C-alpha cells in the first residue's frame, strides 16, 4: 500500500496515475475535497481508499495501524498559495502536519518523500541546497524552509528513507483546479483560446518585458524523480527538482502561440502587490540530484508545453 497525501491535487494525482501505470492499485489518496472539482483529477485513477486529510492525521496521531503494510508515503499535501498571508494557517497545514506525518513514518520505518519548494531561496541568486542560500519572500516559502531545516536536524540519525524535493516551476496536466495558482502555460493557453492573445508581466527587477526567468519543469519529469527515489530507498536528503536551466516567460508564451499557430503577445504592468515577494529568476542547481544517481534528461519548455497543450486541448 502506498499513501499519497494531496493525492487529488496537481502533482499528487499525477503520482497516483503513474503508480497505476506501474501496476500499483493499492493507493490510498489523502486530500481535502472541500473543493469538489478536484475529484476530476483522480476520476480516471484506480485507488484502494480515500481519506480526508483530517481523518488521516487523527489516525496517525492515535498511532493506529493501517490494514496493509505501507510501502511509502508521498507527502504532497500543502497549501501552495504563495499569495496566502495567514501565517497561522500556513504553519498548521504545511509545517505541523508535515512533522506529524514524518514522525509516524520514522517510527514505522516507512519511506517518506515530501514536497518542498524552490520558494525557500527567495530572490536567490544561488539555488543550491544550503542554508546560506535560503531567504524566502513569503510565508508559504517560510513554511517550506522551516520544515526543511527541521528535517536537516534529523537526517544524520534517521534509519529509514526521508527525501525532500524542492520543486521549481512545475506545469502540466491535472492543475486546472488551482485557479490563479495554475501555471503560466495553463493561463496563456486559456487566454489565447478566449481572446486570441496572451499576456505577460512587463519588466521588473532589471528584466525586460517577459524576460523574467524561471526553471520550468514538466510534471512528468517531477513524477519520474519521485518514483526513482522510491526505487532507491537507501537515498535520503533534500534535493532541488528543476531542469537545471532557466528560460524566460517569453519562451512559454511563444511555445503556446507556436502550438496554436496564431496569437499576439502583449505585456501588462507588473502588479504592485507582488513587488518584493516575486521571484524574477530561478534556476535549480541539480548537482546533488545528479550525484545521487538520477541521470535522466529533463524536457525543455518547448517540449513540455507541446506535450501539455496536446493533453489540455484534447
HEC secondary structure over the chain: CEEEECCCCHHHHHHHHHHHHCCCCCEEEEECCCCHHHHHHHCCCCCCEEEEHHHHHHHHHCCCCCCCCCCEEEECCCCCCCCCCCHHHHHHHHHHHHHHHHHHHHHHCCCEEEEEEHHHHCCCCCCCCCHHHCCCCCHHHHHHHHHHHHHHHHHHHCCCCEEEEEECEEECCCCHHHHHHCCHHHHHHHHHHHHCEEEEECCCCCCCCCCCEECEEEHHHHHHHHHHHHHCCCCCEEEEECCCCCEEHHHHHHHHHHHHCCCEEEEECCCHHHCCCCCCECCCCCHHHHHHCCCCCCCCHHHHHHHHHHHHCC
Which residues, other chains included, contact 178 with Cβ-Cβ below 8 Å and sequence gap of 6+? 10, 80
What whole-number distance in Å separates Cα of residue 83 and Cα of residue 88? Answer: 14
Could you state, in order of their start, the residue ranges of all structural domains in the chain? 2-171+217-244+284-299, 176-213+246-280+305-309
Which range (30-34, 112-116, 269-273, 274-278) has the least confidence?
274-278
pLDDT for the residue numbered 276? 76
As a whole-number percent, the residues of the chain with pLDDT over 90 amount to: 88
Q: Tell me the angle at which helices 184-195 and 249-260 cross, rounded to the nearest 10 degrees.
A: 40
Average pLDDT over residues 65-71: 89
Average pLDDT over residues 229-258: 98
Residue with the three cell numbers 481572446: 195
What whole-number distance in Å separates Cα of residue 31 and Cα of residue 274? Answer: 29
Average pLDDT over residues 8-25: 98
Would the pLDDT of 81 be above 80?
no
Would the pLDDT of 85 be above 90?
no
What whole-number distance in Å separates Cα of residue 90 and Cα of residue 146? Answer: 12
* Residue 59 appears among annotated catalytic residues: no
Average pLDDT over residues 133-161: 96
Question: Residues 114, 140, 142, 167: which is the catalytic one?
Answer: 140
Question: Residues 108, 178, 199, 235: which is the catalytic one?
Answer: 178
- Residue 212: count other Cβ atoms within 10 Å of its Cβ: 24
* Residue 64 appears among annotated catalytic residues: no
What whole-number distance in Å separates Cα of residue 60 and Cα of residue 50? Answer: 15
- R_g (Cα) of the chain, nearest Å: 19
Would the pLDDT of 233 be above 80?
yes
- What's domain 2-171+217-244+284-299's superfamily in CATH? NAD(P)-binding Rossmann-like Domain (3.40.50.720)
- The overall average pLDDT reported for the chain is 95
176-213+246-280+305-309 carries CATH number 1.20.200.10: no
Would the pLDDT of 63 be above 90?
no
Amino acid at each position: 500500500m502506498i499513501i499519497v497525501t494531496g493525492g487529488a491535487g496537481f502533482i499528487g494525482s499525477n503520482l497516483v496515475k503513474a503508480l497505476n501505470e506501474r501496476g500499483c492499485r493499492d493507493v490510498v489518496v489523502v486530500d481535502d475535497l472541500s473543493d469538489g472539482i478536484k475529484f476530476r483529477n483522480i476520476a480516471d485513477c484506480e485507488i484502494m481508499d480515500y481519506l480526508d486529510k483530517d481523518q488521516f492525521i487523527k489516525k496517525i496521531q492515535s498511532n493506529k495501524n493501517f490494514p496493509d503494510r505501507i510501502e511509502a508515503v508521498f507527502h504532497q499535501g500543502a497549501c501552495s498559495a504563495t499569495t496566502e498571508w495567514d501565517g497561522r494557517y500556513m504553519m498548521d497545514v504545511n509545517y505541523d502536519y508535515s512533522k506529524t506525518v514524518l514522525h509516524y513514518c520514522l517510527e514505522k520505518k516507512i519511506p517518506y518523500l515530501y514536497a518542498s519548494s524552490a520558494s525557500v531561496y527567495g530572490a536567490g541568486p544561488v539555488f543550491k541546497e544550503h542554508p546560506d542560500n535560503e531567504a524566502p519572500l513569503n510565508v508559504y516559502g517560510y513554511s517550506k524552509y522551516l520544515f526543511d531545516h527541521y528535517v536537516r536536524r534529523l537526517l544524520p540519525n534517521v534509519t529509514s528513507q526521508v527525501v525532500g524535493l524542492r520543486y521549481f516551476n512545475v506545469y502540466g496536466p491535472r492543475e486546472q483546479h488551482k485557479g490563479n495558482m495554475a501555471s503560466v502555460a495553463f493561463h496563456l493557453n486559456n487566454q489565447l483560446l478566449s481572446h486570441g492573445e496572451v499576456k505577460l508581466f512587463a519588466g521588473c527587477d532589471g528584466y525586460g518585458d517577459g524576460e523574467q526567468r524561471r526553471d520550468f519543469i514538466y510534471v512528468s519529469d517531477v513524477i519520474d524523480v519521485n518514483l526513482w527515489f522510491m526505487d532507491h530507498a537507501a537515498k535520503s536528503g533534500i534535493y532541488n527538482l528543476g531542469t537545471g536551466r532557466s528560460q524566460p516567460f517569453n519562451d512559454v508564451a511563444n511555445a503556446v502561440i507556436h502550438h496554436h499557430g496564431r496569437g499576439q503577445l502583449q505585456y501588462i504592468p507588473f502588479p504592485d502587490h507582488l513587488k518584493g515577494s516575486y521571484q524574477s529568476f530561478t534556476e535549480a542547481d541539480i548537482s546533488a540530484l545528479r550525484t545521487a544517481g538520477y541521470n535522466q534528461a529533463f524536457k525543455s519548455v518547448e517540449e513540455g508545453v507541446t506535450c501539455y497543450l496536446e493533453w489540455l486541448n484534447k
